[in-house]
Amino acid sequence: MPECIFCKIIKGEIPSDKIYEDDLVLVFLDISPINKGHALAVPKEHYENLLETPEELAGKMMAVVKKVAKAIKIITNAEGINIGINNGLAAGQSVFHAHIHVIPRYLNDGYKLWGSDKIYGPGESQILAEKIKSEIN
């Protein structure tokens, strides 16, 4: 993927503040952080998003994220950590190379994730749950 910005970061063609690297996963600081220490964990191989990433590799990414998140929390004195993945334009994905956000959070930092509403009609959630269940393989 010659045009992919994260592939360029992985190859060292674009500089980044790296905080972790192994043979499969690279973690570096986000250039436009929500809070200082906001990092991105990416597979070294290009996959468009998490849904396209092989299961074993996704598992390895999560293991790295857990380790890195603990270090970020300590060093930034974060009160909480969001671990988030945007998959697809509609979900807010802007770089189409799979990545996991690790975001230090503070009680009064003012960021909001998503609100929630009661949008199911009577019995609707049970039907939907059954449909999703039958699609899982």
Site residues, ligand 5GP (CB under 6 A): 5, 14, 16, 28-32, 40, 86, 92-95
Question: Which residue's CB comes closest to Zn ion?
Answer: 4
Q: Can you say how many angstroms the Cα of residue 79 is from the centroid of all Cα atoms in its chain?
A: 19
**Length, in residues, of the chain:** 137
Please identify, using beta-carbon distances, which residue of 16 and 117 lies nearer to ligand 5GP. 16
97 binds, among Zn ion, ligand 5GP, none (CB under 5 to 8 A by kind): Zn ion
Distance, in Å, from the CA atom of 29 to the CA atom of 31, rounded to the nearest integer, reads 6
Task: Give the position of tokens 């609100």.
Answer: 115
Is 99 tagged catalytic? yes
- Measured between its terminal Cα atoms, the distance across the chain in Å is 30
The nearest distance, CB 104 to ligand 5GP, in angstroms, is 14
Task: Give the position of tokens 């909001």.
Answer: 112
Out of 38, 46, 97, 99, the active site residue is 99
Q: Can you say how many angstroms the Cα of residue 91 is from the centroid of all Cα atoms in its chain?
A: 12
The catalytic site residues sit at 99
In the complex, the residues that contact Zn ion under the rule CB under 5 A are 1, 4, 6-7, 46, 97
